[in-house]
Amino acid sequence: MLNTGSRSRWSVRFSAAGLAAAAAAAFLTAGADTAGAAPVVNPKAGKVVAHSGFDVKRDGFSFENWGPNDALHRRGLTIDGMRAVFGDEVCARIVLGICSPTTVAELVMAEFNASMRGGHCYGMAALAGLYNTKRLSQFPLALPGQSVYSMPASGPLDELIARLFITQGFPPTDLAASAVTVPQALSKLRTAWARNDNYILAIFDSEEPTAGHAITPVALRDLGGGKRGIVVYDNNFPGVEKMVVVDPAADTWYYSTATNPSEPTMLYQGSPKNKMVLVPLAEALARHQDPDLRSDDTVVVVSDTNGTARGVGDVDWDVRVTDLSGKPIPGVEQQLLLNNDNTARFTVPAGKRFRIVVDGVEAGRTADINTTILSAGGAVAVGDLEVPSGAVAALDIDPARHAVRVTSSAPTSAEFEVATEDSLRSVSTDTSQLVIGPGSSVSVGATPTGVSVHSAGRAQKFQVAVERSDTFIDRNALTSTPITLRPGAKADIPVNIWTGWNPLSATVRAGGSTTSVPLSIR
């Protein structure tokens, strides 16, 4: 589970005294055996005072939230999903209605598919709400009269959930999300339900958040003693109601649940400094900002691919964004993506070079980190960066060049990708794994003519793959033999002047010598 290394505007720790008082309330059932675990709430306690009309065994999904693709869920985000969210700008060309993606769109799609290994809760909460409020038709995934609960998992349904998942990370959805007090939440839910509308309810676990979860509010219950219950459909637990316990007077809330009585409870807790967040359903269907971010901000997405939907097997790790000297950067905004606990998103102000630091991995474990940095005109990504316990990995970013320099205090490796685009074409350059460790670094970034790879402190041997997409065709090139870099050497791949038809070679510069490594064109 990640810790973003700075305080979120939406979170605070529930006081021990407040939790103890809540645990004594009559509407709670027996808790798990684990010492200190929160008791599990009885969702049928109290009296219903408002209802959305949502029935968890009719309007919720019969399958639970999932992480990586498996035998039941085989499809993730596709270019059609990207196009539905962002528009035709993600297409290098459209022929007979078929979108061929730009290389930047492909990179963004890969990053979000990786982040959904931590769960699809936001997409499931959004789609269930859209179906229930009739903002989106279930046809053709379900026939007229067929309930959502009776819909089996399928490739098209998985893809629809995935496309709604990614809306949380881009305007207008991320701008429409609002942190609310408990009284505001109760009032907004009543008002929305009265007009057959609803919200996605987002909750975070604590003052220093390591987890965020998206659920669907269903009803309100009066629990007595000034307490209220927000009954929810939690997509981790299909077919059963759950309840968020709230205290309007104190502006506090908590949510605890467990798979079964023998397992520890999961606890989310809040107060005036850790508010619940409501996201309007309608925003999910709006067109969202193009992922190449034709703006001045830089967006950073950091994920751990070891994450799973329920947190089983998760690795604890920390991430933070600083300037290159390690100091905070004014104006940096952070957001935990709602997929349980394995993805963080940062927005960095224009013109800022910065550092991403990943450390704090729990003893005996290794985090497997993917990082994508999106800025105007393109992106740079670092994939499969393994950060073991006790290690510190640092990524120094120059967003204007779509460039990254990676160092690590422990031996590790990573693969790199640079993708850029203009009105005529998009180009991506991928490397195979390069080795990084104490006393060595790898730098990869765009140049006026293409992409450069520089190794400091150690020799490298790696492959390069290039993809070029334009309004006519896609062309690919791959090194026939590995590129070898001595310590201090640099390889230049002139992809910006490659038409897709002319020969393409990487040039290796070491000292005063140069070596040409041809790429095979396909």
pLDDT tens-digit profile of 71-92?
A: 999 999 999 999 999 999 999 9
| pLDDT surpasses 90 at 222 | yes
For 395-406, give the DSSP string: EEEETTTTEEEE
Question: Which of 164-173, 261-270, 286-295 has the weakest average pLDDT?
Answer: 261-270
Distance CA 266, CA 20 (A): 16
Q: Looking at residue 315, what is its pLDDT?
A: 81
Amino acid identity for residue 136 in this structure: L
Task: Verify cis geometry, omega within 30 degrees of 0, for the bond prior to 140.
Answer: yes
* Contact of 304 with 359, CB cutoff 8 Å: no
Backbone dihedral region for residue 486 (phi beyond 0: left; psi -120 to 50: alpha; all else: beta): beta
| pLDDT surpasses 60 at 262 | no
Amino acid identity for residue 332 in this structure: V
- CB crowding 33-49: b at 16 or more within 10 Å, else e: eeeebbbbbbbebbeee
| pLDDT surpasses 80 at 6 | no
3.90.320, 3.30.70, 1.10.10, 3.90.70: which CATH number matches 39-66+119-289? Answer: 3.90.70
In 248-365, DSSP assigns E strands to: 252-257, 266-270, 276-280, 298-304, 317-322, 333-336, 343-348, 354-359
* Contact of 289 with 170, CB cutoff 8 Å: yes
Q: Looking at residue 169, what is its pLDDT?
A: 85
Long-range contacts of 107-111 (CB under 8 A, 24+ apart): 107/372, 107/379, 107/381, 107/417, 107/419, 107/428, 108/82, 108/291, 108/372, 108/374, 108/379, 109/77, 109/78, 109/79, 109/82, 110/381, 111/301, 111/303, 111/370, 111/372, 111/381
Q: Looking at residue 334, what is its pLDDT?
A: 87
Distance CA 268, CA 261 (A): 18
**Can you tell me whether residue 486 is helix, strand or coil?**
coil
What average pLDDT does range 371-376 have in this prediction?
A: 93
Strands 393-398 and 425-431: unpaired
**Can you tell me whether residue 383 is helix, strand or coil?**
strand
Q: Looking at residue 307, what is its pLDDT?
A: 63
Task: List, for residues 376-421, the tens digit of each pLDDT value.
Answer: 899 999 999 999 999 999 999 999 999 999 999 999 999 999 999 9
Task: List, for residues 284-339, the tens digit of each pLDDT value.
Answer: 999 998 766 556 789 999 988 876 666 666 788 999 999 999 999 999 998 878 87
Q: Looking at residue 117, what is its pLDDT?
A: 85
- Give ∠ CA 94-98-99 in degrees, rounded to 5: 60
| pLDDT surpasses 60 at 511 | yes
Distance CA 446, CA 399 (A): 10
* Contact of 428 with 107, CB cutoff 8 Å: yes
* Contact of 306 with 342, CB cutoff 8 Å: yes
Task: List, for residues 344-364, the tens digit of each pLDDT value.
Answer: 889 999 879 999 999 999 999
Hey, what are 417's tokens?
């990708």
Map out the domains of the chain as residue ranges.
Answer: 39-66+119-289, 298-521
Band of pLDDT at residue 15, cut at 50, 70 and 90:
very low
- Give ∠ CA 391-394-399 in degrees, rounded to 5: 160
Q: Is 436 exposed, middle or buried (0-12, 13-18, 19+ CB in 10 A)?
A: buried
The radius of gyration computed from the CA coordinates of the chain, to the nearest angstrom, equals 24
Residue 338: which of 175, 116, 132, 108 has the closest Cα? Answer: 116
Question: Which of 21-25, 96-100, 124-128, 511-515 has the weakest average pLDDT?
Answer: 21-25
Distance CA 66, CA 30 (A): 27
Question: Which of 33-42, 376-385, 491-500 has the weakest average pLDDT?
Answer: 33-42
Distance CA 484, CA 284 (A): 47
Residue 237: which of 205, 266, 200, 202 has the closest Cα? Answer: 266
Q: Looking at residue 313, what is its pLDDT?
A: 65
Place of tokens 């991403």: 356
